[in-house]
Structure 1
Amino acid sequence: MRNLLLSFTLLVFSCVTFESKQEEEDNPSPISQNKTELDFREFIGMDYFMDEQHSYLGFKIKYFGFSPVRGRFENFNGTLFYNPEHIEATSVSVFVDVGSIDTGQDRRDEDLKREDTWFNATTFPIISFQSSEVILYEDANFDLIGDLRVKGITRTDTISFSAPTAISRDWAENEQVDFSGKFTIDRQEFEVFGGDFWSSIMENGLTQLSDEVEIELDIHCRRADYTARFNSEDSTSALVHVLRDVKEANRLLLEDPSSDEKLNSWTMTAIGRTLNEWGEHEKALISFGKKLEAYPEKHSTYNDIGVTYLHLGDNLAAKMQFEKSLQSDSTDSRAHEYLRLIRRMVND
């Protein structure tokens, strides 16, 4: 009898131990909570942009309690600072165009955007998210905590991301990385509703349209590496021909200032950013200044000038340039992220 009790005790202990280990595997421990050894100045000129053409920013909501209805937002602009060796230092700003909502049915899309109901896109044309904290886990998954603003209402939410892909390069030597994440919000907390009918309770106890909305994210991010582009040895690639044009344009812009030839905006941007990567920051300022003269409507040039001033260590001059960019477009995510970076550098 004693042996039987001993065997039973050992069996129970083994089961409890196994369940405890399994729970630890299923719920990995956090290894960092927004604490980093990274010098934030290393992020200068290293921002990634979210490629909306190759990304998915979608949502799923249950109709009549069971049937999922999916939709997405087609247009958004986002910028992030990311270092795979310091994921805990990741910072993100995203601005979503509510008018770009697409559920696959035009009539429903127009209803969702209509004034005084649902998203009320006329009064509240933008949904935004800005991160404030990162929790990194042992399995390289991470939580991104930040402020989500919908219809003028801001709430703190947590987006759970799986481990990012390794950084790779495309044909133009752009660095690229992909993130997949999801989270759930309560639409009522943001006053996203369309009338009493959709909130009424059915016989099964469920509402006509679920309050819970699942947000699904598959985000492709890129960063142009101009140094790598110029170091390309593939003389047969189309890229090399582009680079030769840029080098010639650089000669016209900086060595022959009397030239009346007007360069296109993209070329002038490439020249300035390349000069910055080569450490020729004073020349980069000249380049971006000439671009601003030639294309004053390109407010993004202020961002490039701001980045150049950061390279030169002049945070105040940089801040003024990013603020000028926001005067033209208050949803410029790159300007927002760099202003946040300046604050992080000052407070570090």
Structure 2
Amino acid sequence: MTIMTTLSELTGDYVLDTARTRIGFVARHTMGTRVRGRFDVFEGRAHLDGGDPSKSGARLTIQAKSIQTRNEQRDEQLSSKFLSAGDHPAITFTSIAVDQVGETTFKVTGDLTIRGVTKPVTVNFELTGAENDPQGDLRVTFQGGVTISRSDWGVNWNVATSAAVGGKVRLELDIAVIRQA
């Protein structure tokens, strides 16, 4: 993928390209193994201001029930017991600050809401590409991540189960957005 010559060329309003975006996570499980998963249903919007990235912003909504770890029983347990998707169907992130820290790297601070609990997090992102697709639409891609402590959001089920799952969860974001006309 090609990166544009200047950030100012990226200025505009964008919608999340859900077919090319991956919202994943990694958590340590018993015996040192790791559980990797993703969310399959989400939507989002962003405004990029290449001239002044601090004026950029984004909003993401994830359907908690769409969690997938390739194990149906575990997915049901994570959805219902850990994430309480029946009572809290959406996980949301709303940016409150964007800081450019390198030529193509950014820190995006925002409010992350899980299980009805909102806490600030800062996600490190790298602009990985920008190009026009065959339809002439500008697509911009970012990779990012942040490690959170699930207990900060009350993501626990019971003491025995919580001890079997590590307290830290790494959120992995491969984001693709399409500029709106």
Structure 2 length-normalised TM: 0.89
Query: Are 1:147 and 1:157, in contact at CA under 8 Å, matched by a contact in 2?
Result: yes
Query: Are 1:112 and 1:118, in contact at CA under 8 Å, matched by a contact in 2?
Result: yes
Letter in 2 for 1:120: S
Q: 1:142 to 1:65 in 2, by over 3 A?
A: farther
Pick aligned residue for 1:172 from 131, 135, 138: 135
Pick aligned residue for 1:71 from 7, 12, 37: 37
Distance 1:62 1:130 in 2: 27
2:148 counterpart residue number: 185
Whether 1:146 aligns to 2:120 is no
Pick aligned residue for 1:121 from 81, 85, 107: 85
2:168 counterpart residue number: 212
- SS of 1:107's equivalent in the other structure is helix
- SS of 1:167's equivalent in the other structure is strand
Distance 2:26 2:95 in 1: 22
Question: Deviation at 1:166?
Answer: 4.2
2:16 counterpart residue number: 50
- SS of 1:131's equivalent in the other structure is strand
User: Which consecutive unaligned segments of at least 5 residues does structure 2 have?
Assistant: 1-7
Question: Deviation at 1:198?
Answer: 2.0
Structure 1 length-normalised TM: 0.47
- SS of 1:47's equivalent in the other structure is strand
Task: Give per-residue Cα distances to partners, 1:157-203, cap 9 Å, x unaligned.
Answer: 000112x1343101111111001000011111111112111234xxx
**What fraction of aligned residue pairs are identical, expressed as a percent?**
28
Pick aligned residue for 2:161 from 188, 198, 205: 198
User: Which consecutive unaligned segments of at least 5 residues does structure 1 have?
Assistant: 1-37, 201-207, 226-348
Pick aligned residue for 2:48 from 71, 82, 88: 82
Question: Deviation at 1:65?
Answer: 5.4
2:5 counterpart residue number: none
Letter in 2 for 1:138: G
Query: Are 1:131 and 1:146, in contact at CA under 8 Å, matched by a contact in 2?
Result: yes
Q: How does 1:1-348 map to 2 (within 5 A)?
A: 46-64=12-30, 66-114=32-80, 117-162=81-126, 164-200=127-163, 208-225=164-181
Q: Which has the higher contact order (CA 8 A, sep 6+)?
A: 2
Letter in 1 for 2:25: F
**C-alpha RMSD of matched pairs (Å):** 1.6
Distance 2:128 2:180 in 1: 17
Question: Deviation at 1:135?
Answer: 1.6
Which structure has greater strand proportion? 2
Letter in 1 for 2:172: E
Letter in 2 for 1:187: R
1:317 counterpart residue number: none
Following TM superposition, the consecutive aligned residue runs of length 4 or more in structure 1 with deviations greater than 4 angstroms are: none
- SS of 1:143's equivalent in the other structure is strand
Query: Are 1:50 and 1:220, in contact at CA under 8 Å, matched by a contact in 2?
Result: yes
Distance 1:184 1:127 in 2: 16
Letter in 2 for 1:133: A
Question: Deviation at 1:87?
Answer: 2.4
Query: Are 2:47 and 2:57, in contact at CA under 8 Å, matched by a contact in 1?
Result: yes
How many residues in Structure 1 have an aligned counterpart in Structure 2?
172
Distance 1:120 1:152 in 2: 10
2:3 counterpart residue number: none
Structure showing greater Rg: 1
Once structures 1 and 2 are overlaid, which stretch shifts more, 132-141 or 173-182?
Answer: 132-141
- SS of 1:160's equivalent in the other structure is strand
Distance 2:20 2:102 in 1: 29
Question: Deviation at 1:136?
Answer: 1.1
